[in-house]
Structure 1
Amino acid sequence: MTEPASPALPPAEPHPQLDQLIAVLAHLRAPGGCAWDAEQTHESLTQYLVEEAHELIDAIEHGTPDDVLEELGDVLYQVLFHADIAAARGADGFTIEDVAARSIAKMVGRHPHVFGDVVADTADEVAANWDTWKRQEKPARTSVLDGVPRGLPALQRAEKLLGRADDVGFAPVLPAVDAPADERVLGAELLALVAAARARGLQPERALRLALSELEADIRHAEQRDGSARGGADLLD
C-alpha cells in the first residue's frame, strides 16, 4: 500500500542564537557546570514554569516590548530546561528535537486547511472544524473533560468547563445573575464578590473549585446518560 504523501512544509531557517542557548544550558547541566542546574528535575522546576508564565502575561498586559522579549526568553529557557532533563534519561527520555517534531506534527495535523485539502477560508470555519481535528489527533479521549488541566486557576478552569458543558448540550443550573456590561464591570463585580466572601471568612478559590468538582461530575453524568441513549456511542465521535 502506498503511504500518503507528507504535506509540504515551509523551508526552515537556521537559528544560531537558539542553538547557542541550548548549548549554554547543556554546559550548565554538564559535569563541571552549575550544581544547582544539574540537580533540577521536572518536579522541582514546576514552580518556576508557573512563575515565568505569569511574568510573561504581566509583561504582555502592562510592560514594554523589551519586557515581553525578556520574559519570552525565560519561558523558552524553561522549555529547553525540561527537554534537557528528559534527554538525560537516555532511551527513556526525549530531546528538544523530539519536542519540536511533536509540535510540528500537531500543528500540521490541526491545520488541514493549510497543509491538506480541507477548505476553511474563515476563522469561523476553522473554529467549527477545530474540535474534529483534535478528536482525530487524540482518539483515546472519551470525555469532553479530558485535556482540561486540573492545575488551572479556578476562574480559568470554570470558563473551560462551562465551554465543555456547552459541547455536550448540558446547561448547569446556576443562580440567576445580570450579565455585566463589559469586562471592567465584570472585574469590579468579581472583586466585590471576593471581598464579601473574605468578610465572611470564606475562601473564594476553594469555593469555586468545589463548585467545579460538582459541575464536572454533572457533565460526566450527562455524557454517560446521552451515550447510553445512543447505544453507548462515544460522545466524541
Structure 2
Amino acid sequence: MSASLTVVGLGSGDPDQLTVGILNKLRRADTLYLRTKEHPVLAMLEEYGVEARSFDEIYEAKDSFPEVYQEIAARLVATASAGQPGQEIVYAVPGHPMVAEATVGLLKKQCSERSIPLNILGGESFLDEAFVRLGFDPIEGFQLLDAGDMQADWLQPQLHTLIGQVYDSFTASDVKLCLMERYPDDYEVIVGHALGVAGEEAIHKVPLYELDRVKGYGNLSLVYVPRSEDERLRRHSFARLHEIVAILRSPEGCPWDREQTHQSIRKNLIEETYEVLETIDDDDPDHMKEELGDLLLQILLHAQMEEELGTFSVYDIIAGLNDKLIFRHPHVFGNEQAGDAEAALQNWEQMKAEEKRLKGIEPSMQSALDGVPRDLPALMKAYKLQRKAAKTGFDWDSIDGVFDKIREELDELQEAVREGHSTEEQVLELGDLLFASVNAARFIGADPEEALTLTNRKFTGRFHYIEDRLREQGRELVDSNLDEMESYWQEAKKALGDNWK
C-alpha cells in the first residue's frame, strides 16, 4: 500500500482564476510539492501560510528538460510508495495538468505500474487566457505545439497556431527558424508574456524575423501565429498539391485533365522520367527541380484516377511506401546490423523475400527472373535479366567467354545478312549480338544503358562539330560529301576527345 498522489493545476498565472476547490486542496495538503516556484500564485500561497517544497534545484542539476521531468516523477513516485494509506501528496504544476505538462504523463504511467492512486484536478490552462487575450476562436481550426519539439511539416498555416514552452530567446530563435520554413520572414506573429496576470502581462506584435529579439521570455511565454488563407503559405504542402490535382479532374476543372485515362497519359510518365534523367546527367539542379515536379504530377494524376473509383488514394501509396521502407531496412528501424552497402542490400533482399511469404507467395516457387518489369527499355531489361540469372550460377567464368560469345553472334549476324536470310531472322541475330554485348558491360561493372547514352552524346557532339565547321563556310551537310565529313569527324575526335557533354 502507499499514499495517494493528487496533481493540481495552478492556472495560467492570475491568482483570481484559481478555483476554490484547488485552493482548498493546496491549503489542506499533508505534503505539497511544486514543480517550480516561478509562478505568480506562489505569492498568494505564502500569504495563506502554505508551505511547499519545489523541484527547482533539479533544473540546475540536470542537462535537459526530459531528465528534469524524469527525476521529478521518480521522486514523487518514491515518496508516494513510502507513504501510508490515507495520506495524500499534492503536486502542483503551472497551468492545467493535462496541457503541456510532461511530468504528469510520466506519473500516469509509473503510478499505474506501481498501483499508486493518482488523481488529477484541472485548472485554468494558459490556453484559456490565450483565447481571450489574443482574441481567436479555436473552433476555426487550432493547433498547439511545443517549442522544444517543433517540425516544419507540422505547421498548417490555415490553422491558428499556439507555441508553448518558449522559455528564452534561444528557444524563440529555434521557433523562428522553424516557422521561416513555411512563413515569409515578415509574417506578423504575436508574443505573449504572462497572459492574464495583472501587472506582468505583455503582448508584442512583431514580424517573424524579430521573434528572438523580443525581451522578457520566461516560463509564462508563448508565441501565437494567426491563421491565414493566403494560398502562398500552402504552396509547399503536399496536401495542397493533392487538392489542386483533384480540382483539375473535377467537373468544374480542366476539360483536358478530366478526359485523361491511365492509357492516354501512359507515355507521359515515360517521357517525364527520361526528362528527369537528362537533368541528372546535365547536373542541372534548377531544371531537375522542375522536371521532378512534372514527374510527380503524373503520379498524382494516376493516383487521382483511382481515388475517384474508390480503389486507393495517393495517401495510401505513401502509407504503403512508408511501411515498405521501414520493413526493408531492419538495420535502420530494427535490430539488424549492416556495416556496408552490400550488407544493407542483403537485408533488403531478405526482407523482400519475407514480404512475399507474408503475402502467401513462396519465393522458392518463383522464377529466378521474376521481378524484372515487362516494359523496361530492352537494353536495361537485358542487363537485369542477366544479373538475376548470374546469381543462380548461370554465367561465364570470365569475360573471355563473353568475348567469344560476342564473336560467335557477330559471325551469325554476318552470315544471316550475307546469305539473305529473312528480315526477322536477321533481327533475331542482331538481338543476340546486343544481348551478348550487355554481358560484357556487366562483367566490367558498367551499366549498358549509361554506356550507350555516353556514346550517343559523344556521337552527337562530334556530328555537331561537322555541322558547325560547314556553317562557318556558309555551307550545309547536303553541300558536303562523305570524305569531307570523315575528315571533320577525325578533327572532332582530336578537338573534343571523349567529351560527351
Shorter-chain TM-score range: 0.5 to 0.7
Aligned position for 2:340? 122
Verify: 1:99 aligned to 2:334, yes or no: no
Instruction: Tell me the CA shift for residue 121 of structure 1.
Output: 2.3
Contact 1:154 / 1:208 at 8 angstroms: preserved in 2?
no
> How many angstroms apart in 2 are the aligned matches of 1:143 and 1:47?
29
Q: Which amino acid aligns with 1:117?
A: N
Greater alpha carbon shift after TM alignment, 74-83 vs 16-25: 16-25
> How many angstroms apart in 1 are the aligned matches of 2:433 and 2:257?
35
Instruction: Tell me the CA shift for residue 45 of structure 1.
Output: 1.6
> How many angstroms apart in 1 are the aligned matches of 2:269 and 2:262?
10
What do residues 24-56 of structure 1 show as CA deviations (whole Å, max 9, x unaligned)?
111111002111111211122210000000000
> How many angstroms apart in 1 are the aligned matches of 2:344 and 2:272?
31
Aligned position for 2:306? 86
Aligned position for 2:395? 171
> How many angstroms apart in 1 are the aligned matches of 2:281 and 2:266?
23
> How many angstroms apart in 2 are the aligned matches of 1:96 and 1:41?
16
TM-score (norm 1): 0.67
> How many angstroms apart in 2 are the aligned matches of 1:209 and 1:14?
56
Aligned position for 1:34? 254
DSSP-derived class of the 2:264 partner: helix
> How many angstroms apart in 2 are the aligned matches of 1:24 and 1:87?
14
Instruction: Tell me the CA shift for residue 210 of structure 1.
Output: 9.8
What do residues 66-101 of structure 1 show as CA deviations (whole Å, max 9, x unaligned)?
1100010011111111110000102xx100110001
Aligned position for 1:186? none
Q: Which amino acid aligns with 2:373?
A: P
Contact 1:26 / 1:84 at 8 angstroms: preserved in 2?
yes
Structure 2: stretches of 5+ with no match in the other structure: 1-150, 156-233, 405-409, 418-422, 437-501
What do residues 188-221 of structure 1 show as CA deviations (whole Å, max 9, x unaligned)?
xxxxx9xx99xx6865998259969xxxxxxxxx
Instruction: Tell me the CA shift for residue 170 of structure 1.
Output: 1.4
Aligned position for 1:73? 293
Aligned position for 2:330? 112
> How many angstroms apart in 2 are the aligned matches of 1:118 and 1:204?
47
Contact 1:154 / 1:209 at 8 angstroms: preserved in 2?
no
> How many angstroms apart in 2 are the aligned matches of 1:73 and 1:209?
38
Contact 1:144 / 1:164 at 8 angstroms: preserved in 2?
yes
Matched residue count: 183
Aligned position for 1:159? 383
Contact 2:372 / 2:381 at 8 angstroms: preserved in 1?
yes
Greater alpha carbon shift after TM alignment, 16-25 vs 167-176: 167-176
Contact 1:49 / 1:78 at 8 angstroms: preserved in 2?
yes
Q: Which amino acid aligns with 1:88?
A: E
Given candidates 128, 132, 135, the residue that maps to 2:353 is: 135
Contact 1:148 / 1:160 at 8 angstroms: preserved in 2?
yes
> How many angstroms apart in 1 are the aligned matches of 2:373 and 2:312?
22
Aligned position for 1:145? 369
Greater alpha carbon shift after TM alignment, 117-126 vs 25-34: 117-126
What CA RMSD, in Å, does the superposition of the two structures yield over aligned residues? Answer: 3.2
Instruction: Tell me the CA shift for residue 120 of structure 1.
Output: 1.2
What do residues 7-34 of structure 1 show as CA deviations (whole Å, max 9, x unaligned)?
xxxx882484222221111111100211
Q: Which amino acid aligns with 2:296?
A: L
1:216-227 equivalences under 5 Å are none
Contact 2:329 / 2:347 at 8 angstroms: preserved in 1?
no
Contact 2:269 / 2:298 at 8 angstroms: preserved in 1?
yes
> How many angstroms apart in 2 are the aligned matches of 1:88 and 1:65?
34
TM-score (norm 2): 0.33
DSSP-derived class of the 2:368 partner: coil
DSSP-derived class of the 2:153 partner: coil
| Identity level (%) | 40
> How many angstroms apart in 2 are the aligned matches of 1:156 and 1:134?
21
Greater alpha carbon shift after TM alignment, 28-37 vs 168-177: 168-177
C-alpha distance 204-62 of structure 1, shift in aligned 2 (>3 A): farther
Aligned position for 2:153? 13
DSSP-derived class of the 2:297 partner: helix
1:221-236 equivalences under 5 Å are none
Q: Which amino acid aligns with 2:331?
A: H
Instruction: Tell me the CA shift for residue 143 of structure 1.
Output: 2.0
